[in-house]
Amino acid sequence: MYCSCTERLLYKDSIKSYEKLKEQIKGLVLNDELKNGMQLPTVRQLGEFLQINKNTVSKVYKELEEEGYLYSAKGKGTFVTKTEKTKDTKEFLKIVDSMLKKGSEFGLTLDEMWGIVYSKSQHFQMLEAEKTRREIGFIECNSGSIKDFEKIIKSEIKDLKVNSILIENLEKNIDKLKDVEIIVVPFIHYEEVRERIEQLNKEVLVIGTNQSLKILTYTTKFKNKKVGIIGYSREDEVAIARQFKNLKIKEFKYYDGVKSNGVDKVKTFLDDLDAVVVCTSVVEKVLEVNDLNLPHFIFKGKYDIRDLKILRELYN
């Protein structure tokens, strides 16, 4: 039995893409408007009628055949075939009919009902996408660096969710890392958190190792010296000090954070030092009050995509 599905296809807007054509034919099958065994127009006939490339129609027919909505018989044509999915759809359509009737009883127009369904379907689609979204964990000591990292991920790697945790909150939030694929840890903090995250049995990606190599070049400059550290917070300063622990530094002196002390005390702080390490996040403020004429190292606190090369290769 031959069906004229072309008239039904024109019920909506003109078909401009294979996705739309595919969804409309599928919809006609699911709604039982194209019944089991009905023959579809040939590829050429449907292409000419809708004024689209016959290759587009051919692609749609092939995909719908693979999905079990159609079947082709050599020398005879393409036909509708029913699947378990189409049988289940009948039950769903009964629910839809009931919803439309109930909506009408509430005084809703068809357009209003469609608007509600569309809004709900968009929300449902977003929730479903969230379930399959790729996710990594990130552990850092300050919120500024977390924001930098998340900003880079958002701009450079599509659909990769970052579950970030401050080191100080790691114990109480450790369960948030159970479902991530990889845990990203800055080299500066790896030893600090290694034992705490081993229980998760996750792959760990250590970033920021290039900076650690640069630190080694300061061995002779800082050896047996009294070195000050100026960071955004005391926590930052302590974390930075760990990176220099193998340079045989005589003594570390902490500024206790620009966040708490501002920069008014920087000049006095530097007077008693042989060298200083300044975190890049506060270096501009420090330079406003001191030229840093003594030996110094600018500690990179921000991330760029070069730090995340492996992540980009894994997820792009």
Report percent pLDDT > 90 for the chain: 13
At 88, is the pLDDT very low, low, confident or very high (cuts 50, 70, 90)? Answer: low
Shared domain for 218 and 292, answered yes or no, is yes
Count of CB atoms situated within 10 Å of the CB of 77: 13
Shared domain for 225 and 277, answered yes or no, is yes
The Cα–Cα gap between 93 and 227 comes to 74
Count of CB atoms situated within 10 Å of the CB of 74: 5
Handedness of CA 242, 246, 247, 249 (dihedral sign): positive
Shared domain for 72 and 24, answered yes or no, is yes
Shared domain for 72 and 97, answered yes or no, is no
When pLDDT is averaged across residues 1-30 and rounded to a whole number, the result is 62
Identify the residue with better confidence: 49 or 262: 262
Q: Give the model confidence (pLDDT) of 269-289 as tens digits.
A: 998 899 999 988 788 889 988
The phi, psi pair for 299, rounded to 5°, reads -85, 120
Shared domain for 203 and 266, answered yes or no, is no
Per-residue pLDDT, 174 = 92
Shared domain for 233 and 286, answered yes or no, is yes
The Cα–Cα gap between 101 and 93 comes to 12
Which string of DSSP letters, residue by residue, matches the chain?
-B--HHHHHTTSSPP-SHHHHHHHHHHHHHTTSS-TTPBPPPHHHHHHHHTS-HHHHHHHHHHHHHTTSEEEETTTEEEE---HHHHHHHHHHHHHHHHHHHHHHTT--HHHHHHHHHHHHHHHHHHHHHHH-EEEEEEESSHHHHHHHHHHHHHHSTTEEEEEEEGGGHHHHGGGGTT-SEEEEEHHHHHHHHHHHHTT--EEEEE-HHHHHHHHTTHHHHTT-EEEEE-SSHHHHHHHHHHTGGG--SEEEE---HHHHTTTTHHHHHHT-SEEEEETTTHHHHHTT----S-EEEE--S--GGGGHHHHHHH-
Per-residue pLDDT, 232 = 85
Q: Give the model confidence (pLDDT) of 176-233 as tens digits.
A: 999 898 999 887 778 788 888 988 888 888 887 666 667 767 767 788 889 999 988 8
Domain holding 224, by residue range, is 212-299
CATH number of the domain enclosing 11: 1.10.10.10
Query: Does the pLDDT at position 14 exceed 50?
Result: no
At 7, is the pLDDT very low, low, confident or very high (cuts 50, 70, 90)? Answer: very low
Shared domain for 14 and 91, answered yes or no, is no
Shared domain for 200 and 311, answered yes or no, is yes
Shared domain for 15 and 158, answered yes or no, is no
At 149, is the pLDDT very low, low, confident or very high (cuts 50, 70, 90)? Answer: confident
CATH number of the domain enclosing 202: 3.40.50.2300
- State the total domains in the chain: 4
Shared domain for 75 and 90, answered yes or no, is no
Shared domain for 223 and 204, answered yes or no, is no
Shared domain for 173 and 217, answered yes or no, is no
pTM, entire model: 0.48
Residue 134 in contact with residue 160, Cβ under 8 Å?
Answer: yes
- Residue 139: name the closest of 173, 105, 95, 94 by CA: 173
Query: Does the pLDDT at position 164 exceed 90?
Result: yes
Q: Give the model confidence (pLDDT) of 53-64 as tens digits.
A: 888 889 999 999
3-state secondary structure of 76: coil
CATH number of the domain enclosing 281: 3.40.50
